[in-house]
């Protein structure tokens, strides 16, 4: 029969919680490390294992920050375990808001991250679900227009603030960057920020504007490189199609001439008739008026 260990209030609760699940997680981590040793051991797994054995919260956070470095490899193996252990360490230390920032960053980096509802405290699971909802609500189709990289701090750093840095731009127009609640940042510039989630907007004349949400972590420099799409149409203008020329069938022109009314003949006939009438009217000399007749025949 399992014995429930009473937890004392305060920071000691974290130590007892870790002690109660240390054995289970050590077995899991030893399995991960054993598998990794076959294909080349991942040092991040060993860091997470050491963090489980570390009762000093500050030292544990240092180990976990080094293990979560995304430049060391993809988020796999013990990486999801390290994220949740870091969040639990911060929550037990009363830093719930900072734990939320780390969980948002982790979910944005690894959307497939799932919480462990058995080994970790309910507060950690609730914080993860809140972070996931936040990321889903702030994700935009233009997220791919901003490539994100990180400059990770040295293992012994204790810096509480982070930095946001904007990479240089090769656009034909000046790039304007604005951080909501902070102000503008020029390409190639950086600004120190407290840990949190920030909305960054990018715009340039002749390009589609972009708005993204990114997390700034303590001691970490978040680098954004924007790739704006030209707002001008890239499709070549199409020439209107020339009207099709219709060739009349043989004999159609002649038939048309037969069916149509010959205007030329009418004009010519009318002029001839007028001249003839004038001749007849003035050609009688001194005698009386002579009545004559004239028949004008119009060809069909």
Taking the CB of residue 74, how many other CB atoms lie within 10 A of it? 9
Average pLDDT, consecutive stretches of 10 residues, N- to C-terminus, the chain (300 residues): 40 52 51 47 90 93 95 92 97 97 97 93 97 95 93 89 94 93 94 97 94 97 94 57 60 50 42 41 44 46
32 falls within a domain:
yes
CATH code for position 94: 1.25.40
46 falls within a domain:
yes
Share of the chain above pLDDT 90, in %: 54
Structural domain total, the chain: 2
CA 270 to chain centre: 80
Q: Which residue among 232, 250, 271 closes a domain?
A: 232
Q: Which residue among 232, 262, 278 closes a domain?
A: 232
User: Which residue range forms the structural domain that includes residue 91?
Assistant: 7-139
Q: Residues 123, 147: one domain?
A: no
CA 201 to chain centre: 12
Q: pLDDT tens, 151-199?
A: 999 888 889 999 999 999 888 899 999 999 999 999 999 999 999 999 9
257 falls within a domain:
no
Q: Residues 218, 94: one domain?
A: no
Q: Residues 11, 134: one domain?
A: yes
Taking the CB of residue 66, how many other CB atoms lie within 10 A of it? 21
């Amino acid at each position: 029969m399992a014995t429930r260990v009473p937890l004392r209030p305060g920071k000691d609760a974290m130590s007892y919680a870790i002690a109660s699940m240390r054995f289970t997680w050590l077995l899991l981590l030893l399995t991960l490390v054993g598998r990794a040793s076959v294909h080349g051991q991942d040092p991040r797994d060993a860091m997470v294992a050491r963090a489980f054995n570390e009762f000093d919260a500050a030292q544990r956070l240092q180990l976990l920050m080094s293990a979560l470095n995304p430049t060391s490899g993809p988020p796999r193996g013990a990486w999801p375990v390290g994220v949740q252990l870091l969040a639990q360490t911060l929550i037990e230390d009363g830093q719930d808001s900072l734990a939320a920032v780390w969980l948002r960053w982790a979910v944005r980096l690894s959307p497939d991250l799932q919480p462990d509802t058995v080994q970790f405290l309910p507060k950690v699971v609730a914080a993860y679900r809140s972070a996931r909802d936040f990321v889903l609500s702030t994700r935009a189709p233009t997220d791919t227009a901003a490539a994100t990289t990180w400059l990770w701090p040295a293992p012994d750093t204790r810096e509480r603030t982070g930095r946001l840095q904007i990479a240089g731009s090769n656009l034909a127009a000046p790039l304007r960057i604005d951080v909501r609640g902070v102000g503008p940042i020029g390409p190639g510039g950086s600004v120190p920020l407290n840990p949190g989630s920030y909305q960054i907007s990018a715009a340039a004349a002749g390009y589609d504007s972009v708005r993204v949400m990114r997390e700034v972590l303590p001691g970490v420099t978040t680098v954004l490189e924007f790739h704006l799409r030209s707002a001008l149409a890239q499709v070549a203008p199409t020439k209107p199609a020339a009207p099709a020329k219709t060739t009349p069938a043989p004999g159609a022109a002649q038939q048309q001439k037969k069916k149509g009314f010959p205007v030329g003949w009418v004009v010519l006939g009318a002029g001839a008739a007028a001249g003839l009438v004038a001749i007849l009217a003035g050609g009688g000399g001194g005698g009386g008026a002579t009545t004559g007749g004239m028949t004008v025949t119009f060809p069909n």
